[in-house]
Structure 1
C-alpha cells in the first residue's frame, strides 16, 4: 500500500511539472505559478510524510529526535509569491534559490537522521534473534492465509478483485493487452476507410489472426496460464470487434447470420472459461463485448438494438453463473446494463420503441433475479454456516435489479398510473411466488426473506402510484415516513432502505411538479418538508432507534434536514408579507431549530442528531449572508427598520445557542462547532454598529474569546484550538485592513481609536489561539506544524502593526494608504523599517530575559525581513537622506540587539 502511495505521489509531481511547462509555453503563466506552488507544497508534504514516521521509530528505539524547522522554506516561498505579485523576476529567483538551498539542507539532515535510525535498528535486531523466528512463522502463516484467500475468492468484493487484477500479477502483460485491443479497434477503423482490398477480405484477415491468437493461447495454457489467458482474451476480443464491424458495414447483411456468428463466439468464450476455470477470460471477453458497439465508425445502434444486444450477453453470463459462483460477472453485467444501457436509452430512445423496451427491461429483470437466486444457492451449498450477504453489490443483485428495472418502467409510463400500478402488482405476485418456492430450502432462508420483502415493497408502491398529480408526492412522503417508523420498531434494515428510497422519490417528483404546475404547490411542499423533519425526529427519539442509524443513514438524515430547511424557508417567505418577511422567516426557523434541538437533547439524542442539525442550518446562513449583502451600501449596513436589525441579532444568538448545545459537540467535532459559533456571533454582531461593519462584526466574537480565556474548563480552550477559528480571524485581519471604509472614523490618536483597538484585540486573540496550537502539538503530537504557526505569528504581528502605523502616517503626514504608491513613499518606508526593527528588538530582548528561544528566533526572522526590505526596496525606491536614515537606524538598533539580546541557549532535555 505504501508503495502504491509513493507511486501516486511521483505521478502527481510529474503531472504538475508537465502542466506547468505546457502552460508556460501556451502563455498561461498563472497556471504555471499555481502548479509551481502546488509542487513546492506537495514536495514538502511528501518529505514530511517520510520524516514523521521516522521520528516515531526513533522515539521507540530511544534515538534523540531532531526537529528540523521548515520556517526558512515557508519564508522563501512567501518571498517568491511576493515577487510574482509585484512582477519582480529577481525577487522570484532569489526566493526559489533560497527555497532550493534550504530544501536540500533539510534533505541532507534527514538523510543523516535516517542513517542513525537504520544503524540503531540493526543493533537492536542483531541482539534479538527470537523476533526473527517469530517473523518466519508469521510469514508462513501469511502465505497460508493467502492460499486460503485464493480458494475463497468468490466471496471477495468486486473492488477487491479489481484491485488485485490491476496491481498484482504481471502489470506489463495487462497494459499490453489493453494497448493491443485499442490497436485492433484502430486497425479495423483504418481498414474500413483506407485499405484498397475489399472490406470482406480485410475483416476476414483480422478474424483469422484473432482465431490464431485464441488457439495459440489455448495451446500455451499448461506452460504459462496467465499469458495464455491474456492471449485468448485478446483473440476473442478481436473476434467480437470484427463481427461488429462486419455487420454494421453490411459485410454480413443478414442479422440472423450475424446473430449465429455472435452466438458461436459467445459459446466458445463460455466453453473456454468453464474448461479452464478462468473468470479472468470471461471478464475480458464480456467487457469487450459490452464496449464493442461504441467502437463502430459508421453509425450508432438504436436503443432497442443495444438493449437487445446486452440481453444476449447477460444470457451468456447467466449460463456461466448458473454453473459457477462467479458473482463478479453478475455485478459487472448489472452495473453496465443499468448505467451504460440506461443512459443510452435515455439519450437515444424514442416513444415508438416503448413497447419493445418494456419487454427487454422485463427480460433483463428476469435474468438478474435468477442470477441473484442462483448465486445464493451456489454459495450456500459451499459454506452454509458462514454464508452472509455482503451489504453492497450482493444485495444490489437481489434488490437493485427489480427496483431499478421498475424505475425504468416508472419513467417510461410516468403519467399512466394504472399501468404502473399493474406492473407493481405483477412484480409483487411474482416475488411472492418465488418466496413460496424458496422458503422450502433452509440453506437460503435469508434469500427467501429478501424475496418476501420485495413482494411487500412492490405492494406498498401501489397506493402512492394511484394518487394523481402532486398528491402522489404527498403519498410517497407519508408512506416513506410510515415505513421508516415500521423499520425502526422492527429493526429491519430492508424496510429502512425502502423508506429512504420512497423519500428520495418524493423529493425528486416534487421538482417535476414544481416546474409542471402553473401555481406553486404550497401544500405539497409543506407535507414533504414536515415529513422529512418527522423522519429525523423519529430516528433520534429513542436510544434503540439511534443504535440502528449508521453513518450512511446519518448522511441521509442530514440531506433531509438540508432539504427541509430550504423548503420551509421558501414557504415562510411566501407566507409572510410586507417589509419584515425576510427577518420573520429567519427568526421562525432559528427558533424552531432551537426548540427542536432542546427536545431532542431531552430525548438524549447523540451524533445522529448533531450532524443533521449542523448541516441543516446551512441555508439559514446563506440566506442571512444574502440579506446582509443586500442592505450593504458603500461599506455601511443600511437597515430599513429596527425590526430587521435586532431580528438579525436575535437570530444570530439563537443559532449560537444551537451550536453550543450540547457542549459535548465541541469534543465530537470542534472544527464544525467553532466555525458555526463564530459565524453566528459575527452575524449577530453586525447589528450592533451598522455604520462600522468591520468593527461591529468582531465585537461579540472578541467578547466570547475573552470569556473563554478566563474559563478553567478545558473544553472552551479546545473550542479555539481549531483551524476554522484561525481562518476566520485571519480573514478578518486581511479583509478589514484592505477593504474597510471606516478605518479613520472616530480617529483620536494612534491606537486610541476604535479600529486600532479592535485590530489589537484581534491580534491578541489570534496569538493566543496560536499558542493553544503549540500546546496541543506538545501534549498530543497533533495540530498544525510549528513552522506554519511561527510564520503566522510573524506575519500577523507585522501586518496589523504596519497598518496601525500606516493609518497614523496617513492622518498626520497625508501619506498613501492602501495604494501601491506607498512603496515609493520615503516616509512610509522609513517608518516601516524602524517599526519592524523595534518589534524585533522588543521580542528578542524579552526572549533573552525569559530564555524563550522560539520567541528570539521569531524576532530574528523579523530582522531578516527588514534586511531584505533594506536591500530590495529602500536601496532603490526611496530618497537619499531617508535611505541613509533608514539604514543607519536599522543598523544601530541591530547593534543594540546584538549586545543586549544574544540568542538563548537551548534547554537541555
Structure 2
C-alpha cells in the first residue's frame, strides 16, 4: 500500500511540475507519508474488528469447557476459521445443564505456530530516548487529531505552489492577479475555519492557521519578490494579520494559532528588511508585540507563546547588536532592552500566578533566568566602554529581581514560594557579581556558573529534571570557559581580582550543587525524568571534586598573581619567588583538604573527605616543584611551611585511619609512600648542607643520598621492625594496623636502594674528603658503606625474626638470602684497598690505572687470601662445611689471579711479595682449618653462622 501510494503520488507530482524532477521526488515523499498513515489507519481498524472476533471465539471455547484460551495471532489465522467463528452464537445458559456444542462442519483445524520470544531488549540510552521522543512528538502532530486534514493541508500547499509555478511559467495571469488569488484563498481558509470552529474545532483551527500563514507569505512575496506592494504597506498589513490572528486565538483559546500569528509577526522585519532600515521603528514594533504577549499572559498561561516572544526578541536583538550596532543607537537600544527585560520578567510572574503545582506555583526557569542571562549579556555589550558599566548593569539587574521578589513575597508568600526564592537567588548572584565587575574584570564564566546553580536549585525545589540538567550543563560550560581563558593574573589588588573571585564563584556554584546532590532528589514521573535521575545520582562526587579543584585553583591563581608592569608592553613582575609559590599552593591544598575533611566528618558527607586521602600526592608534587625551582626544605621560610604541611598530612591521615576501612588499599599506599617521601626530604636536607659547604665535587655528595635511605631504613628497623618482633600488643598508631607496611612494604624498595647505592658508591667513589684529610677506614665513604651493610643485615634479621613473618619475607631466610650481602661485603672490602692505594700510593682513580698497577694487584691477592683464611678458620671451628668451601673457592680464585695477572709482573718485587705471602697463608690454612666433615643440616648451620 505504501509503495503504490508513493508511486502514484510521484507520478502525479511529476505531471503537475511540468515533468520536473523535483515534482517527482516531492510527490513520492508525500505519497510515502500518506500511504504510511493510510496503512496505519487500516491496520488499526482491522485490529479492532479482530479483537471483537477473538472475544467471541474465547467466549465459545469457555462455554464448551476448554480452559485454554484461543491465543493465536488474530491477523494470521486461516480465513475458514474466521468465517466459521463468525457464524457461531453463544448458546443460552440453562440452570440444569449446558446444551451440547455442535462442531461446525466447515471448521478448519489448525495448530498455533511455535513462537520463539527473544530476550528483553536492552534499555535504550539517553540519546535513543530523546530521538524516539522527538519522533513520537512529530508523529502525534501529524497523525493525532484530524490526520486527514493536516495531510491535506500539506498536499494543498504543495499543489498551490505547483499551480503558481505553472501559471507563472505559462504567463496565464499577471503577477498581481495571481497574488490576489492566493491571498483570497488564504482569506477563504481563514473564513471557513472560523465558521467551523464550533462544529469541528480541530478542523477549524487548522484551516485558520493555514490561512494566516498563506496571507503572511503572500504579503512577503508581493513586497519582496515581485515588488507589487510597497514595503511600508506590507508592513502595516502584516501587523494587522498578526493582530487578527491574536484575536482569533484568544477567542478560541488556541495557543497554536497564537504562536502561528506571532511567529509571522516577529518574522515581518526579517522578511521585509525593517522599515527603511529605521531600527527605532523595528524596536517600537517588537515592543508592541511583546506588550501584546504580556496582555495575553494575563489571561492565558501559554508557555509556548511566551518562549517564542522571548527567543525572537532577544535573538534578533543579539543578531543586530553583533552585526549592525552603532554608538548612535545606544539610547534606542538601551530603552528597548530595559523594556523587553521588564516585559518578560512580568510575563514570568504572570505565568507562575496562573500555573499551580505540587510544590507551589510552577516557575518557568527559562523566563526567569533567560532575561537575566541574555539581558545582562546585551547590557554588558552596550556599556563595555563605560567606566564601571558592567558593575552598574549588575546592580540594576539585582535591584530588579530583588524588588520583584520583595513584592511577590509580600502579597503571595505561600503560592509564590519557589518564585520568590528564585528571584532572591538571582538578585543575590548579581549583587555578588557587582563587586568584581566594578574592578573591570570579565565574569562571563562566573555569571554562567551562578546562573547554573540557580537553575539547578529551582529544579530541585520543583522536582523538575530539565532545569537541573540545564544548570549542570551551564556550570560545566562555565568551568571549561574559565580554564580555556586562564592566563596571568595581573592585578594590584589581592583577592579582589578577576582570577581569584571568578574561580571562587565557580567553586561556590559547584560545591552548592554537590551539596544538593548528596541525597536523591525528586523528579517527575516520566521516562526522561527517570533516565535523568539515574545518571544524576552519579554526578554528586564529580561535582564536589570539580568544585574543590576550582576552590584550590582560585587560591593558586592568587598566589601566582603578578603586579601591573610599570610600562606598557613589559612582562608583569612576579610577587613571590617560584619555589615559594609552589610551597604555598601545596599548603593551601592541604589546609583546604583539612577544612573539607572536618566538614565531611561533621555533616556526614563522605566525598568531602576525599581530598584528604591524597595529601601525600600534594606533598610529593610540592617537593618536586620546589626542587625544580631550585629551593630546599631548610630554606627560610620554607621550613616553616613544610612543618605545617607535614603536620596537616599526619593529622588528616590519623583521622582517616579512624574511619571504617572503605579505602583500605589507598591508606596502606599512603603510609608506604610517606616513608619514601621521607627519604627524598632527608636527601634534600643533606643536599642543602653539601651545597652550602661547596662539597659537590667530593665524596660527601656521593654518600648523601645513600645516607638518607640508610637512615630511614635504620629507623624503620628500630621502630617498626621491633613492633613486628614483639607481637601486636601495646602498639600505637600507626603501628597498630600498618606495622607490616612500614617494616616490610615500605622498607623493601629502600633496602634495594641502599644495596644498589652502596654498590655504586663503593665502585665509583674515590673517597675524597676535602677539606678533611683522608683517613683509611674512618673517611665518610668507608664509614657510610660499613653502616649501610650493617643496616641491611639488621633489617634482614628483624624481618626473619618477625612474628608472623610478612608475606614475601620468606625470601630472606636460608643461605641463598645471604649471598647478596656476602657479595656486597666482598666488594666493599676490595674497594677499601683501592681507595687506600689511590690516596697513599698515588695510583690514579681510573679503572685502567688500577688494573694496571701491580701493587694494587698484589694487595688484592693478599687480601683475598686473608679473607679465605678467615672464612676457613671460622668454618673449621664451627664445623660448617659450606662456609669452608666458600673460603676454599676464594683461595682458588686467588691462585688463578696469581697465574693470570700477578705472574706477568715484570717488576718482580710485587710479584715476589705476593707469591710468598699467599703461599704462607695457604700453609696456615692447611694447618689451622682442614676440611670439616659432612654433617646433617650443614646448610642451616652455615646460614646461622653468617647471620
Greater relative contact order, per chain length (Cα 8 Å cut-off, separation 6+): 1
More helix by share: 1
